[in-house]
Chains A and B, each alone.
Chain A
Amino acid sequence: MRIGCFVESYNFKFKEEAEALQIFVKTAKKMGHELELVGKEILRKMDKYDSIFIRATTDPLLTAFVVSRLAEEMGKNVIDDSESIRICSDKISLHYKFQKNEIPTPKTILFFGDYENLEDYAEQLGYPVVVKKPNSRFSLYVEKANNYEELLSITKKFMRKCRAVLLQEYIPTNFDWRIGVLRNKLLYACKYVMAKGAWKIHDIVNGRRVYCDVKAVKVDNLSLKLKNVALKAAKSVGDGLYGIDIKEVNGKFYVIEVNDNPSIGHGWEDRKNPELYEEILIALTET
């Protein structure tokens, strides 16, 4: 089968990600398939491919979404599917899914600009309050308010360009679990360990951008409770390829978010479960 893999130049920023893409190409070949890395020109030659794999930032406002939708309209097997992109790119939508499916999360309140209730919401959550824009990603548009003045200032800033934000209880941890799930099966696991002084995966500490450290853990070694929480969270969105971010506190697990199009870097996410490439390719080529 021929697989078109939509990539953008920033996919090659970290050598680990570029290497992972090359492993996809080689693994596909070994399996008797052809995986071609293609840029925006994929929109003009979608016909050539049997299935489409997206490895570029997915958001309904970006090219990747149209790639996914057009491929679906043509009846192709697509990872990521457009509905997963929509849900995961909108944290409000994701919150509704978590609520409906009873996924354990930090206490969360949707804020639609009713400032008369803001102080009350903060009281319910306790300071610091985490404020997230619906389209937050890679720790962008996620800020922490330590008091009401900060909360007011952050919400006003975020709501200049959107009509809703998420207010969330702050749960400090040294790391977030990142669990990879595909077609409702566990694929890989790692700990995203916060950099010193950071409170989120990508942060700015003393004016310098810092990134988390990735420590892979074999899926088989995860606790049953963690596995179940991750699978349940993934299922609340769909049956695509997801990276589930989970906090662990005293043996309890809290889902922070489900990410479609999770990063896959060679030596990072694949370290303990290198079969993930083959698993993804099987999903892309199954009929």
Chain B
Amino acid sequence: MLLVGEGDDLEPPDSFLKKKPKSDVLNLVGDYRFLTVGYFVSLHAEENGCKVFPQTKDALDIYRAAVFIERLKKSGIKVPEFKIIYKPEPETCVLAPMNPFSKNSVKIVKNDYQYIKAFKKIGIGKYPVVQLKADKVEEVKIFLNKADKTEFDWLARAIFKEFGVPLGKVLIADDYKPFYFMPIEKKEIRLDLIFEELKNENRLFC
């Protein structure tokens, strides 16, 4: 398994993109959004016939809140009820962008003023927005099958199983219900946890 990313013992993305890879690839860039370096690493591996985590299709799905929630729901994970809004429907709620224009633009709004402001900002005045009810939102970082908060290891496992995405941040609404996935910053990547998990490589990638 070739590990691609920034850090000791990893193949840097720039040199990876110039090679013709032959082995399986674990993409540890951390941001896999469309047309980013992480996306191109997965694409390059795929187009050279390599098994890669994550695949480009899953990398696109995971950052789109509505698709992320639907796929988790299908895989048996409890998710919050949500609606897709294209005209403001003010209420106390959480608003999330439908497509990943920025790394994190989820807003908790508590009154009409905040709602309208957030709706315009998140939808950039023209795109639909995902809206859901939640009293609080918690952020969890995932590293393959491990989370930075051990009570969420189950979620890291579920996400890797469903999407094959090894790194990222998940936003969770009340009662352990995930609803939004974001890229992780380079400085937040815990390679120690990754390498620990990779000791179980056979179980992990079967």
Contact = CB atoms under 8 A, between A and B. Distances in A.
Q: Do chains A and B interact in one complex?
A: yes
Interface of A: 39-41, 43-44, 60-63, 65-66, 69-70, 73, 82-83, 86, 89-90, 92-93, 96-97, 100, 112-114, 134-135, 162-164
Contacts of A82: 57, 60
Nearest to A39: B86
B35 interface: yes
A73 B70 contact: yes
B50 to A, nearest CB: 13
Contact of A163 (B18, B35, B64, B127): B35
B71 interface: yes
Given A112-B17, A114-B18, A61 B99 contact: yes
Interface in B70-88: 70-71, 74, 83-84, 86
A114 B43 CA distance: 18
Interface majority SS on A: helix, strand, loop or mixed?
helix
Contact of A44 (B43, B61, B74, B83): B83
Residue of B17, B35, B36, B60 with most chain A CB atoms under a 10 A cut-off: B35
B47 A62 contact: no
Nearest to B101: A61
A86 B128 CA distance: 20
Nearest to A164: B40
Contact of A43 (B14, B71, B74, B128): B128
Interface of B: 14, 17-18, 34-37, 40, 43, 47, 56-57, 60-61, 64, 66-67, 70-71, 74, 83-84, 86, 98-101, 127-128
B99 A73 contact: no
Contacts of B14: 112-114
Given A40-B128, A43-B128, A114-B18, A73 B67 contact: yes
Nearest to B65: A66
B152 to A, nearest CB: 25
> 9 tightest CB-CB pairs across the interface, nearest first?
A96-B47, A40-B86, A43-B84, A60-B34, A69-B67, A112-B17, A163-B37, A73-B70, A61-B99
Contacts of A86: 34, 56-57, 60
Nearest to A89: B34
B2 to A, nearest CB: 17
B47 A83 contact: no
A112 B12 CA distance: 13
Contacts of A92: 40, 43
B146 to A, nearest CB: 28
Contacts of B71: 73
A112 B18 contact: yes
Contacts of A164: 17, 35, 40
Contacts of A65: 60, 64, 99
Contact of A134 (B17, B35, B60): B35
A93 B47 contact: yes
A83 B18 CA distance: 25
Contacts of B43: 90, 92-93, 96
A273 B74 CA distance: 42
A25 to B, nearest CB: 22
A114 B90 CA distance: 49
Nearest to A112: B17
B74 to A, nearest CB: 7
Nearest to B56: A86
Contacts of B101: 61
A182 to B, nearest CB: 22
B64 A66 contact: yes
6 contacts: A40-B128, A41-B86, A43-B86, A82-B57, A93-B43, A162-B35
Contacts of A96: 43, 47
A133 to B, nearest CB: 9
Given A92-B43, A112-B40, A66 B66 contact: yes
A226 B84 CA distance: 44
Given A86-B60, A163-B35, 8 more contacts: A41-B86, A63-B98, A63-B99, A66-B66, A69-B60, A69-B64, A90-B43, A100-B47
Contacts of B36: 163
Contacts of B61: 69
B66 A70 contact: yes
Contact of B35 (A40, A114, A135): A135
Contact of A73 (B57, B74, B83, B98): B74
